[in-house]
Structure formats: C-alpha cells, structure tokens
A and B are shown apart, each in its own frame.
Chain A
Amino acid sequence: MGKTFVEKVFEDRLKREVSIGEFIEIEPDLALANDITAPLAIKEFKEIKRPLLHPEKIVLVEDHFVPNKDVRSANQAKILKDFAKEYKIKNYFQIGTGGVEHALLPEEGLVLPGDIVIGADSHTTTYGALSCFSTGVGSTDIAYFMATGKTWFKVPESIRFIFYGRLNKWVSGKDLILYVIGKIGVDGANYCSMEFSGETIKELTMSDRLTMSNMAIEGGGKSGIFEVDEKTLDYIKDKAKREYKIYRSDQDANYRNIYEFDCIKIEPQVACPPLPSNTKPAKELSHIKIDQAFIGSCTNGRLEDLKVSASILNGNKVHPDVRLIVIPATQKIYKEAVKEGLIDVFISSGGIVSCPTCGPCLGGHMGVLADYEVCISTTNRNFTGRMGSMKSEVYLANPAVVSASAILGRIAHPDEV
C-alpha cells in the first residue's frame, strides 16, 4: 500500500513508519502567532520557565486589531513587540512591514514545500498550497513549541478531491472550495488532510490555490495540500532562502474518500449565512440586497483578487446603498496595486481602501455591521455575528461576484455588469 503526502512528511522526519490515528511528537519548521493568539502563548511560555529554543522558527504578525483599534488592542500588540525585542525574533512584522499573516508568509518565502508549520490561527492551512503540512493549533501549542521545539499530532486520514474539466468564466479557486464545502459540509473533512488534484488544478494560479487551502478548515480539514508543479516552483524561486523538499502521495495511497468534480458544472458560488456550507449559485440569489461589500482578507486579498475586482469596478459606480471596503492583504500587494492603478479604480468607483488588517472579517474593526445589515464578502466565515451584530448577515463569494454586487446593490453574477 502506498503512502499519502502527510504520512510521507511525518515518516521522513521521524525516520520510522507511522499509522493513521497514532499520536506523534514532531519538530515543526515554523510556528506562527498573531496579536490575538501570541499574548497568551507568550504568557504560558514564560510560565514554563525555559529558554526560547528556536527564535529563528518563530513568526509573530500583528494583523487582527492593527492599526491598534483602541488602548486594549494596543497593549496586546505591544506584548509581541516587546517579546520580539527581548528574544531577538527577526520574523516579527508590525504594520508597515507586514500584513495579513497568511498572505504574508508565502510572499516572504517563510513557508516552503515539505515544511511542517503550526500556527495559532485556524487558517494556517493556507500554506498547503505550497505543498507543506501546515495546520492551526492553539496558543498553548505555540508556548510548548517555544519551550521544546516540538508539537504533538494525531496522524490524519486523507481525503482526495479530484477536479477535471474546463473552468467556467468567473469561476475561481474560491468557487471550487465553496462548492466542495457545500458538498461535504463544514465537518466533512474533520481531522483529515485534504488533497486537491486533477487536471483543472494544474491550471489554477498560486493565488487560487492559496484561497482553496485557506478554506480547507471550513470543511473541517487539518490541512489542504496541493502537489508541487511548475507554478509552485516559479512562485518560490525568488522567495526561498533555504532548502526544501518535495513530497507526493503515491497513486495507491489509502484515502478515506475520493471525490471527483466536473468543473463545467460549477458556477460562481455564494455561501449563505450562517455556514460556509450553505452554498448556492450566485445567479439564484439576485433578490438579496446588500449594505456592504468587502474585498480582502487572507482568503482573497491578494493582487490577483484586486485585479479582477478592479476590472469589474472600472468605469462603474458603487450602488448608493452600499459601502465598498477594499483591503489589500499586505504592504507589497498594496504598493503593487497603487502602481497598477487599481487603488485609483476602487476610489473612483466610490469604494474606500484601507491599509492591511484582518479587521472586518472577524467583526473587529474597519467595517463592522449594524443590526439587520447584509454584507457580501470575499472572506472565509459567515457564522452568525461574525462581522458584527448578531442580527447582521454575511454572504461569502469570490472577488468578481462581490464587485458586481457592490455595483448593483444586490448579489449579482459578474456577467450582469
């Protein structure tokens, strides 16, 4: 019997065979925490009273409540800054140098194929797009890693998702992953490593792949893995500053389940509240009026997302009843968007553009919803109250659908603009 990607990564590190369901202790290559999760990790690490083993493997990113929302969030962020200074952590990113963590780490070349990455943030699955095993953990896990350089895992089963056939116009990685979650449910891949493959996957850009791995967690996935191909190698070639290793699942590997999707049947998708699995084709939701449209986040705040949004908004005006908020996910993306004239398009259409932050996605700041307001968003979660009031609603979609909706004041298919 062959081995899956995750079995190969674990076995290569441990130099022994592993079995599904077994608990293992392993040394990750990188551990990430942000301004929400790092303060608790730091407090617990100090409680353990041990030296910091691998400062070079720690990444601290301020992104959720920055620029500091209020005194309390300022004090949270300051804990990261002080800790980074005290322990000489070079991969510490505050505003001006960083951005939204899961857009930032791939861009900085900090995550590479074959890596094992833990992050105190559920969307750490994002880096699976680069063919590394990366998964969300808790703050205590980060504290434990700081003190020991290790973490524990249960060896997961894997599920394979094969995509074939041509992609319809306006269908992106976001639509594929929403479609998958709609089919398997929000716990359909719970505890499992999801693997994305098939001829259509080869056609997807890295940006689309990052979006899909990012949302693997919304199907319960422990990770969302893509195989390395020319596009992966091209993406990392100027970014990688260290060695990496390529692993591929064997053809006869053991999967808990294998799903096949004919992409020609997939239209632009929208996930209706209150779960990412409540998916419907955008065309069926044209009666839903919106108050806010948000383009950004670790899911869809990359340059490619801004480009497709600008292509739709260019020459159009945002509907008078709608607030359009655009947030480039990192400083580099922001700078590039300025250079390419995209920011001009957003502002000319009546939208606002803010500096990188996770803010609106989690109802933190910079776009919180009032009672009974409806938002269409390129983010990853539409749980009740996620973006503000418990009486507000969030619909999830790709940047093209969100842009078209911003213009028409209701959920719209990009072809309608």
Chain B
Amino acid sequence: MKLIGYSHKFGDNVSTDLIIPGRFFHLRSNLNELKLHLFEDVYPNFIEKINEGDFIVGGKNFGCGSSREHAPTIIKLAGIKAVLAKSFARIFFRNAINLGLLAIEADTDDIESGDKLIIDDEEGYIENERTGKKIGFTLLSPSIKKILLDGGLVEHIKKHKRIIL
C-alpha cells in the first residue's frame, strides 16, 4: 500500500507529555475534545494544521516517557496516517501497534516540515518529493502487521480470538 501525505517535523525525545500533557487527563473519556490539545504546548493550534493523511515525523526516541496510550490514540484520531522516527520509545511503539497506528523506524534527518512524502509499506521505502531521495526502512514482522491492519489489538482479537504470531 502507498500512503501519500505531508510531513510535520519534530525533534528528538518527543515525550508523551508533549504529545498530550497530563493535565488534560479529565478529557480522556472525550477523545474528540482531547485531540484538540494535540502537541498544544509545542505548537498552539497544531490540530488546525493537520490534513487527513499527513505524517508526524520525529527524531530519536519518539514517544518517550509516560505509557499514556492517549498519545498514539489522538494522533490517529487527528487523521495522521503514520508516525516516522529514527527510533521509538518502546511503549509508544507498542501502543501504536495495539491501536492500529503505523509506526515506521527510518532515517528522518533529511525530512522537513511540509515535505510531501510517499510511503510504500510493502517495499519499505519513503520517497521525499522535495529531495527526490528514497529512504529505506525495515518492514514490520508479518504478525505485528496483522494486528496493525486489523485496526489494533481489540479489533484483532474480536476477529481472530487470539494473537496470530
């Protein structure tokens, strides 16, 4: 499958506190309201800059800190189709898979905000229209991809009754 969208670039060590600050915990039962605060402390009104199908691009250790699952949840709900980073903090990566949000580990150094990217998640490359370069990445294992394609762990288990590894 090929995904086409625009990049929103962030730096290294983006914490789940920055993605969605702990102080909005009370909105957690109202995800549509919670998502309005996505990245609010870094970019006020960030939610208004997102178009359906865009990508969030981070540096090293994206999603570090608290295990709060609402971070990948609202990224997905905001219409982001994939998160790209040089590396992910493991709980964020795990939560993204469990919630059906594509998380790709790749060298994101040359990607800037506003770049148009084409992601081929079968061949394993990201094409940057601005630079004309292709960045390769390692494909997810087939078992993990299955959870992702089913839309996350809850949907996966409803469908298969167990994890298919």
Which of A's residues lie within 8 Å of B, judged by CB?
23-25, 36-37, 39-40, 44, 47-48, 65, 70, 72-73, 76, 120-122, 136-141, 143-144, 147-148, 150, 152, 186-187, 190-191, 220, 222, 275, 362-364, 381, 383-386, 390
Contact = CB atoms under 8 A, between A and B. Distances in A.
A362 B165 contact: no
B158 interface: yes
Contact of A137 (B23, B41, B65, B91): B91
A275 B157 contact: no
Contacts of A120: 67, 69
A76 B26 CA distance: 8
Contacts of B154: 44, 47-48, 140, 143-144
B7 interface: no
Contacts of B70: 40
B132 to A, nearest CB: 30
Contacts of A65: 25
A75 to B, nearest CB: 8
B95 A138 contact: yes
A358 to B, nearest CB: 10
Interface in B9-37: 13, 15, 17-18, 21-23, 25-26, 28-29
Given A148-B162, A152-B163, A122 B26 contact: no
Given A36-B25, A40-B28, A73-B26, A138 B17 contact: no
Nearest to B99: A140
Nearest to B161: A148
B21 A385 contact: yes
Interface string B136-165: 000001011000000011100110001101
A88 B68 CA distance: 26
A44 B158 CA distance: 11
B98 interface: yes
Given A187-B89, A384-B18, A385-B17, A36 B144 contact: no
Nearest to A188: B61
A152 B18 CA distance: 27
A23 B144 contact: yes
B17 A141 contact: no
Contact of B165 (A24, A73, A137, A383): A24
